[in-house]
A and B are shown apart, each in its own frame.
Chain A
Amino acid sequence: MGCIESLSYEIILQGASFKECRDFVRANCHEYLDVQPGFKIFEKPTIGVPPISIGLDGDTITFPYTKPCYGTFLLRVSNHEEAERIRVAAKAGKK
């Protein structure tokens, strides 16, 4: 997920399980949307066990990012355009 790595992100959880990421988003984000695996964030399909919860706090997106050797990270990135796109696409059930 090269484009994610080029973003300015904050790691919220590291080495977390998919369930821990989902629980954290639901408990701590102002707004969350449940999406299916393959839903694109920053143009890359999301990896995870459905439902995958994506958190939104204004323009800040909190989402899981899985790497085969390092497990799942919960990342936080601020990006107005992507946050708006996610709101529209997730509510419409798009990938």
Chain B
Amino acid sequence: MTRQQGAAEKSAVLVLGCPQVPVQTGIALYLISQLRKKGIRATIAGNRAARLLIEVSDPERHYISEVMDLDRYISELAEQKRDFDYHFVFIHNDAGVSYGATVQALTGSPVIAVIYGEHFQEVAGDIEFPCEKVMAKAVHNPMPLKNKLDEVLPWVVSNL
């Protein structure tokens, strides 16, 4: 199994869900920038629409580096070809919970569930797998979720 980084640099993957909730793309780019400040290189995994939204939002690739297909990411985890130091799974619906549970079952690395959307508490209640939860009611306005990330990210990446 390979990891992305050299001896010093850690790696993270942001697992994006369906981009139907507007805050996802902005929060993903913000999280990449915050992780970079902590010396963590972030990869994006998502379906085509989620990937294109990210790529169009950062055409000069100031923030994003590797972008990969969601199915390929899951396959490589399942086949133990690759892993990351942190898995940030964006969750706003039942499908997101399923992806989060899958990632948690396939990796030995910490999973951080980033939970948002109109029904974030209900969705969070469906999560029974071990993970750290960062959650806020955020649909169009990213600030509640950004503020939560600001609160917990230093703790998350230093303690996990």
A contact residues vs B (CB 8 Å cutoff): 1, 17-18, 36-38, 40, 44-50, 66-72, 95
Contact = CB atoms under 8 A, between A and B. Distances in A.
Classify the interface of chain A: helix, strand, loop or mixed. Answer: loop
A68 B106 contact: no
B50 A68 contact: yes
A72 B128 CA distance: 18
B94 A72 contact: yes
Interface residues of B, number: 28
Contacts of B105: 36-38, 50
Q: Chain B's interface: helix, strand, loop or mixed, by majority?
A: helix
A66 B16 CA distance: 14
A68 B91 CA distance: 10
Contacts of B31: none
B98 A18 contact: yes
Contacts of B102: 37-38, 45-48
Interface string B98-130: 110110011000000000000000000010110
A38 B97 contact: no
A72 B95 contact: yes
The 3 closest A-B CB pairs, nearest first, are: A69-B18, A37-B102, A38-B78
A95 B78 contact: yes
Contacts of B50: 68
B70 to A, nearest CB: 7
B78 to A, nearest CB: 4
Given A38-B102, A45-B102, A47-B102, A68 B95 contact: yes
Contacts of B17: 68
A49 B128 contact: yes
B93 A49 contact: no
Given A38-B74, A44-B71, 10 more contacts: A18-B94, A38-B102, A38-B105, A45-B78, A47-B74, A66-B95, A68-B16, A69-B18, A72-B94, A72-B98
Contacts of B71: 1, 44
A38 B77 contact: yes
Nearest to A48: B98
B101 A50 contact: yes
